[in-house]
Chain A
Amino acid sequence: AQSVAQPEDQVNVAEGNPLTVKCTYSVSGNPYLFWYVQYPNRGLQFLLKYITGDNLVKGSYGFEAEFNKSQTSFHLKKPSALVSDSALYFCAVRGRGYSTLTFGKGTMLLVSP
């Protein structure tokens, strides 16, 4: 089985400060890890993914994520938060042999001016 944990329901950060949204996963074999963002009343937008190679993955809108195999984590980061980054963020995992993504419950990011 595969699973994802996002331990924080909400993350609050001031604009201009760095942000981190946490994610840990469980899967057999090598993981394929994804981050998606959902703005209010919108669909899920793909941000970035880790397949193999460099542990630091860069994605859309200045976001990046760090894969840590020993800690089974894939935390989403951004050096300087914007108010427009406020949204619901989902981490997802897909193991080799699995047809689909398993999502975490999501973390609401609130960036204050």
Chain B
Amino acid sequence: DSGVTQTPKHLITATGQRVTLRCSPRSGDLSVYWYQQSLDQGLQFLIQYYNGEERAKGNILERFSAQQFPDLHSELNLSSLELGDSALYFCASSVGTLAGNTIYFGEGSWLTVV
């Protein structure tokens, strides 16, 4: 158990809908990351927050947004969902933003868009 908690574990929704994925980082970790894992794209970095502020942005679509709250939990909002958004979404956390900090991953949220 990495200490990173993600909910829900599985989600099935229809095209055009909106979903919210939730993440609680490890105790003491200030940095939160979101990754998308799909068969064709592999592991893709979406976005990073540090202590409530956006720190880095990767291949995140405009239909997707995220935030980190004062209690450090984070949410990833996915809207106008398309079939191609079906993937495993990982949240991860680290104590800080140094390159040597270990990033710990949650179990992921499986999203299926039908």
Q: Which residues of A contact B (CB under 8 A)?
A: 32, 34, 36, 42-46, 49, 51, 90, 94-106
Task: Report whether B42 and A101 are in contact in the complex, using a CB–CB cutoff of 8 Å.
Answer: no
Interface residues of B in 71-96 (CB under 8 A from A): 90, 92
List residues of chain A with CB within 8 A of the CB of B106: 43
Task: Report whether B102 and A46 are in contact in the complex, using a CB–CB cutoff of 8 Å.
Answer: yes
Task: Report whether A43 and B99 are in contact in the complex, using a CB–CB cutoff of 8 Å.
Answer: no
What size tier do the contact residues of chain B reach?
20 to 34
Bound CA span A105–B40, Å: 10
How far does the Cβ of A6 sit from chain B's closest Cβ, in whole Å? 10
How far does the Cβ of A64 sit from chain B's closest Cβ, in whole Å? 17
How far does the Cβ of B97 sit from chain A's closest Cβ, in whole Å? 6
List residues of chain A with CB within 8 A of the CB of B70: none
How far does the Cβ of B64 sit from chain A's closest Cβ, in whole Å? 16
Task: Report whether B99 and A97 are in contact in the complex, using a CB–CB cutoff of 8 Å.
Answer: yes
Task: Report whether B99 and A95 are in contact in the complex, using a CB–CB cutoff of 8 Å.
Answer: yes
How far does the Cβ of A83 sit from chain B's closest Cβ, in whole Å? 23
